[in-house]
Amino acid sequence: MQLTYKVNEKAPFGKNLLYAFQQVLAIIAATVLVPVLVNGNSSAGDAQLSQSSALIGAGIGTIVYLLFTKFKSPVFLGSSFAFIMPLATGVAFGYCGVILGAVFAGLVYTIIAIVIKFAGSDWINKLMPPVIIGPTVALIGLSLSSSAMNNLMNISVSADNYNLMSILIGVITFLVTVIVSVKGTKGMKLIPFVIGVGAGYFVAVIATLIGYNACGNEYFNLVNFSAFASIADFRNWMPDIVLIDAIKEIANGTVKLDGSGVLSVFLAFAPVALVVFAEHVADHKNISTIIEHDLLKDPGLDRTLLGDGVGSIAGALVGGCPNTTYGESIGCVAITGNASVTTIVTTAIMCVVLGFIYPIMVFIESIPGCVVGGISIALYGFIAVSGLRMFKHVDLDDSKNLFVVAAILVAGLGNMELKFGSITISNIACALILGIIVNAVIRPSHPEVKKEVSYDGKTEETMFGTVESENK
């Protein structure tokens, strides 16, 4: 695709700040939602995670990731939903349990990275060719669609009905984003989410002031103005740093971890890290197609994995939540054409700063779910479309490929899950595993070598499928 700013290019300072804020808007909902869900799944007396700290941790984790990847990968790392249940196990053993879980997850990444360093990454391409990665990436976007729609319909207002006003505002947000992206000026096309969120938030404020405050209609209560009252309590301004809380546990002698606790935390986190590894590969293949540079070769999959793993540990020391590469961030790059790594660095720094500015955090958190749902249609949709674009490397006239794609999509969209005690293998991971198995079973032992266009426009031999040579 045509990029407005390439990876190594920099936008002017003022514009870069605006582009970074747009990335913040794209990632913040998911990032701060993870600690909320973990706290909701925890029991009384368990450690509690902070939304502000999670945002700070994501920023720190991203900076670490960028350092390991030599500032070549324009991707933001945010709180991983895959670790919600493991985190529920970790908080039961206090803040020390949370940190230990993140360390275990990071070590899994480190071990895989070492293997790849010495064995190479070609086996990854053979194990997960485009016929597998394409539908898996598409599945990641499609599986998030229910989250977008739940936000859009604001179903929490009523368990039995959706909120028509919420849907209207969400659609307005989406349409404004689309119109700006397609028909806006060159400058506007780089900030469609900022403009879309602004338009949706404005309509939501008017609806709340008139429909709810003036008329008392619950369905118009979309902006929680009462949350701003908490700004007056300065005790809310300082985020709860997980590492500091863990040190307090050790100093007070209240550490809950013992031998069985360590084992429980390991069994909760380590298997999930293996699952997230597959998503890591899919995300990096996706962003590689967008920026037309193979990140699995340069800086290399070993470096991206180390960056992700160490970044997760660093982020968890602050916010408790292990991080992962965010599809929302990749979607933002795809839609705006801004792949500047400087923007990602600025986004990370902005997240750290915002985490300490409580009034701004309250304002951002006051953005209604329907507005977030509106922009999520575009973000998650582009993730799905990015996966579908990989089908150009796949011969769908070949019945073997059709069976592989069918297995992945049906298993994923049908929410296939595997449970082993407290460990749950998600639908995406199950779909990926099934696709790999089907592909291995039906593929000939010595497949015909085809030609495929690489990211630099040259042709290279591959076993991925039939692709016609073309000049770029």
Helix, strand, coil percent content, the chain, rounded in steps of 5: 70, 5, 25
Residue 1 lies in a domain: no
pLDDT confidence band for 471 (50 / 70 / 90): very low
Least confident of 179-193, 208-222, 280-294: 208-222
What pLDDT does residue 451 have?
45
Tokens standing for 273? 């890290």
Which of 194, 228, 204 shows the shortest CA–CA distance to 369?
Answer: 204
386-413 pLDDT, tens per residue?
Answer: 778 778 778 888 888 999 999 999 998 8
DSSP string, 344-393: HHHHHHHHHHHHT-HHHHHHHHTS-HHHHHHHHHHHHHHHHHHHHHGGGG
Residue 189 lies in a domain: yes
Any idea what DSSP says for residue 421? Answer: T
Which of 200, 202, 219, 180 shows the shortest CA–CA distance to 370?
Answer: 200
- Count up the domains in the chain and report the number: 1
Q: How many CB atoms lie within 10 A of CB 221?
A: 20
- Whole-angstrom distance, CA of residue 38 vs CA of residue 78: 15
103-156 pLDDT, tens per residue?
Answer: 999 998 989 899 888 888 777 777 778 888 888 878 877 877 887 887 788 655
Residue 48 lies in a domain: yes
Residue 442 lies in a domain: yes
- Whole-angstrom distance, CA of residue 342 vs CA of residue 314: 21
- Whole-angstrom distance, CA of residue 196 vs CA of residue 458: 39
Measure Cα distances from 3 to 7, 9, 20, 189, 290 in Å. Answer: 9, 10, 16, 12, 9
Q: How many CB atoms lie within 10 A of CB 468?
A: 9
Angle ∠(449,301,72) on CA atoms, nearest 5: 110
Angle ∠(260,262,266) on CA atoms, nearest 5: 115
Q: Which residues contact 36 (CB under 8 A, 6 or more apart)?
A: 51
DSSP string, 317-353: HHHSPPEEE-HHHHHHHHHH-B--HHHHHHHHHHHHH
Residue 7 lies in a domain: no
Percent of the chain exceeding pLDDT 90 equals: 33
Q: How many CA atoms lie within 13 A of 224 on its CB side?
A: 14
Measure Cα distances from 239 to 141, 417, 432, 443 in Å. Answer: 32, 36, 38, 53
**8 Å CB contact between 299 and 307:** no
Residue 3 lies in a domain: no
**Domain span at residue 375?**
13-462
- Whole-angstrom distance, CA of residue 225 vs CA of residue 144: 28
- Whole-angstrom distance, CA of residue 122 vs CA of residue 134: 17
pTM: 0.74
Residue 137 lies in a domain: yes
What pLDDT does residue 438 have?
93
Q: How many CB atoms lie within 10 A of CB 24?
A: 21
pLDDT surpassing 50 at residue 157: no
Residue 262 lies in a domain: yes
